[in-house]
């Protein structure tokens, strides 16, 4: 049974093969007939095609042999001549794929995928432009593809020359030709300038390396550019042309302020101190080639002479080049009048006035301080006898004890103003009463000579002893009485008071003078009621 089935299987296989052969023969005959009749609808090859070709190959769809053969890559290159040339020259995208062997087109491309099929498989987002012979560097890496590749054109047709894209950016207006890359790079249109100016007859050195091209080449004019410094730097010439036109004799390319001219070596006038910082025009007001500049201080500084010529023209005898206000004149050494205290630090004009001119200044205090003298000449002209140069009101050296009124007690600590209301000190009288009139509680009954009783140590300290200094002893009821009880009449002279009882006790005389005026004959000082018994 198994053998029967096996033979039956072989029988069907043979029958199927026969049918295939017959079908093939029939189809071949139909294709020949169709070719003769140009009827594509029954073409055998079309029956075997996996699908329609792409739109670009549609016109060659009936010519299968153009693409299908023993050397298919070469067949592609025969049709795509530009790509074939790229491969031969090892250039372009296809020319860099495999320069040692022919590339197999079908490893990347296929067909028979329909009219709308995409056999390029191109992805702009992932495409590596380095696989072409135009690498994207610098700013080109951020540029959109459409900026260089126009719609409707092949990618290979994009221009590679800088000028093709950047003609509108050419500020030189074609003056430097169309080879932009000779000077510029893709890092930035203005970032790098690769143009080597040393190839011209004017090498850029120092500050010239940092200058914009347009600074020397206005309006993109590059021919017949002047090379003389003054041609560009005339507006920067602070000398206003008085030093000539050969700027390089003094200035350097590294910096306009850096000078090659050495005033100390090239002239007879060395620059020191403040002279090293001033502008040349400060001294050189006229062309140096026409008139030699004076080296005398006053010729330049006559307007700075605050002495108005009083001190002569030899400024350097007092001043130094380190600063007009820094004087080397020493008044203590160079004159007979040393400056101390308040005098030290005064301006020269404080003592040396314009009306003095060149005359010798007096060293007497009063000659300068006449207007400050409040004593109206009463104390003479020797101010230094009392005052010092530390200040008029400070460190007074006047000794009051050499006058007719020595200061003792409270007078020694009393201010001068307490007695001397004005500065005419001699007008004050030395008598106590001239100052203490308001303090006289006796209303002048004891006279103006306060010193008979009071002391300068204190107004309330008494030194007067009635029993020893007069011929009238105070005893009994007289003892302890106020002075005014007996001394009632004011006097400007020596105090004179009667010692007779009746002089004070006339009102107390109950006898109406019948017993005379000698009260002491009967009465005693203890009390009127006490009668002396004889």
Q: What is the 3-state secondary structure (H, E, C) of 482-519?
A: CHHHCCCCCCCCCCCCCCCHHHHHHHHCCCCCCCCCCH
Phi-psi region of 85 (alpha: psi -120 to 50; beta: other; left: phi over 0): alpha
Question: Cα(48)–Cα(45) distance, rounded to whole angstroms?
Answer: 5
**What is the predicted pLDDT for the residue at 39?**
46
This prediction has a pTM of 0.35
> What does the DSSP assignment read for 337-396?
S---GGGTT--GGGTS-GGGTTSPPP--HHHHHGGG-TTTTTT-S-GGGT-BTTBTTSS-
Radius of gyration of the chain (CA): 66
Of 317, 313, 349, 311, give the one whose Cα is nearest residue 330: 317
How many CA atoms, within 13 angstroms, populate the side-chain half-sphere of residue 1? 0
Tokens representing 71 are 């050397």
**CA 27 → CA 13, 30, 34, 46, 72, distances in Å?**
21, 5, 10, 11, 26
> What does the DSSP assignment read for 17-70?
HHHHHHHHHHHHHHHHHHHHHT-GGG-HHHHH-SSPPPGGGGGGTT-GGGT-ST
- Helix axis angle for 72-79 and 81-89, nearest 10°, is 110
Q: Dihedral angle at the C-alpha atoms of 102, 108, 113, 114, nearest 10 degrees?
A: -80
**What is the predicted pLDDT for the residue at 37?**
47
How many CA atoms, within 13 angstroms, populate the side-chain half-sphere of residue 228? 6
Question: Cα(55)–Cα(53) distance, rounded to whole angstroms?
Answer: 7
**What is the predicted pLDDT for the residue at 395?**
67
DSSP SS3 for 325: strand
**What is the predicted pLDDT for the residue at 14?**
54
DSSP SS3 for 530: strand
**What is the predicted pLDDT for the residue at 184?**
85
DSSP 8-state code for residue 534 = -
Question: Cα(237)–Cα(217) distance, rounded to whole angstroms?
Answer: 20
Question: Cα(350)–Cα(354) distance, rounded to whole angstroms?
Answer: 10
Helix ranges restricted to H, 158-237: 162-166, 213-216, 229-233
**What is the predicted pLDDT for the residue at 3?**
32
**What is the predicted pLDDT for the residue at 6?**
35
Contact 136, 124 (CB under 8 A): no
User: Phi then psi for 179, rounded to 5 degrees?
Assistant: -90, 75
Tokens representing 264 are 């100390």
User: Phi then psi for 299, rounded to 5 degrees?
Assistant: -65, -30
**What is the predicted pLDDT for the residue at 439?**
86
Pairing of the two strands 454-455 and 458-462:
antiparallel
How far is residue 50 CA from its own chain's centroid?
84
Contact 31, 45 (CB under 8 A): yes
The residues of the chain scoring below 70 in pLDDT are 1-47, 98-103, 191-193, 288-291, 326, 354-359, 395, 533-534
**What is the predicted pLDDT for the residue at 28?**
52
Question: What's 91-105 look like in SS3?
Answer: CHHHHCCCCCCCCCH
Residues 6+ apart with CB under 8 A from 467: 473, 474
- Domain locations in the chain? 296-361
**What is the predicted pLDDT for the residue at 23?**
59
Question: Cα(272)–Cα(26) distance, rounded to whole angstroms?
Answer: 120
Contact 112, 50 (CB under 8 A): yes
**What is the predicted pLDDT for the residue at 325?**
73
């Amino acid at each position: 049974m198994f053998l029967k089935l096996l033979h039956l299987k072989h029988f069907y296989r043979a029958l199927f093969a026969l049918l295939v052969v017959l079908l093939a023969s029939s189809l071949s005959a139909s294709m020949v007939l169709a070719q003769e009749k140009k009827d594509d609808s029954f073409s055998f090859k079309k029956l075997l095609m996996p699908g329609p070709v792409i739109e670009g190959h549609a016109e060659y769809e009936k010519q299968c042999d153009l693409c299908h053969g023993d050397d298919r890559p070469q067949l592609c290159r025969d049709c795509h001549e530009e790509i074939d040339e790229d491969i031969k020259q090892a250039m372009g995208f296809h020319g860099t794929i495999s320069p040692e062997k022919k590339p197999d087109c079908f490893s990347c491309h296929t067909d028979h995928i329909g009219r709308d099929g995409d056999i390029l498989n191109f992805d702009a987002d992932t495409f590596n432009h380095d696989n072409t012979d135009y690498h994207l560097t610098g700013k080109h890496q951020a540029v959109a593809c459409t900026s260089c590749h126009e719609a409707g054109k092949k990618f290979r047709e994009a221009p590679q020359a800088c000028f093709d894209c950047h003609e509108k950016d050419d500020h030189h207006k074609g003056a430097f030709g169309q080879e932009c890359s000779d000077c510029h790079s893709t890092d930035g249109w203005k970032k790098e300038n690769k143009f080597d100016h040393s190839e011209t007859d004017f090498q850029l050195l120092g500050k010239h390396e940092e200058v914009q091209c347009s600074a020397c080449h206005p309006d993109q004019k590059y021919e017949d550019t002047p090379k003389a410094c003054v041609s560009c730097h005339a507006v920067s010439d602070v000398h206003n042309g008085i030093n000539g036109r050969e700027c390089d004799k003094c200035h350097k390319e590294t910096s306009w302020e850096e000078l090659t001219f050495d005033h100390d070596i090239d002239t007879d006038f060395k620059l020191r101190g403040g002279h090293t910082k001033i502008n040349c025009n400060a001294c050189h007001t006229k062309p140096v080639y026409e008139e030699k500049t004076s080296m005398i201080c006053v010729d330049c500084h006559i307007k700075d002479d605050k002495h108005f010529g009083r001190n002569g023209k030899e400024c350097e005898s007092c001043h130094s080049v380190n600063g007009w206000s820094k004087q080397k004149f020493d008044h203590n050494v160079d004159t007979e009048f040393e400056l101390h205290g308040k005098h030290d630090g005064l301006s020269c004009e404080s003592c040396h006035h314009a009306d003095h001119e060149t005359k010798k200044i007096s060293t007497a205090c009063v000659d300068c301080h006449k207007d400050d003298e409040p004593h109206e000449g009463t104390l003479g002209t020797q101010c230094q006898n009392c005052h010092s140069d530390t200040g008029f009101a400070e460190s007074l050296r006047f000794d009051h004890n050499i006058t007719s009124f020595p200061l003792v007690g409270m007078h020694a600590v009393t201010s001068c103003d307490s007695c001397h209301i004005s500065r005419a000190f001699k007008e004050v009288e030395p008598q106590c009463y001239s100052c203490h009139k308001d303090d006289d509680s006796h209303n002048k009954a004891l006279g103006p000579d306060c010193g008979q009783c009071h002391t300068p140590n204190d107004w309330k300290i008494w030194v007067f002893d009635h029993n020893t200094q007069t011929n009238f002893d105070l005893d009994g009821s007289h003892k302890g009485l106020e002075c005014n009880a007996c001394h009632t009449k004011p006097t400007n002279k020596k105090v004179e008071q009667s010692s007779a009882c009746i002089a004070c006790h006339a009102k107390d005389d109950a006898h109406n003078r019948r017993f005379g005026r000698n009260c002491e004959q009967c009465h005693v000082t203890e009390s009127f009621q006490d009668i002396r018994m004889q």
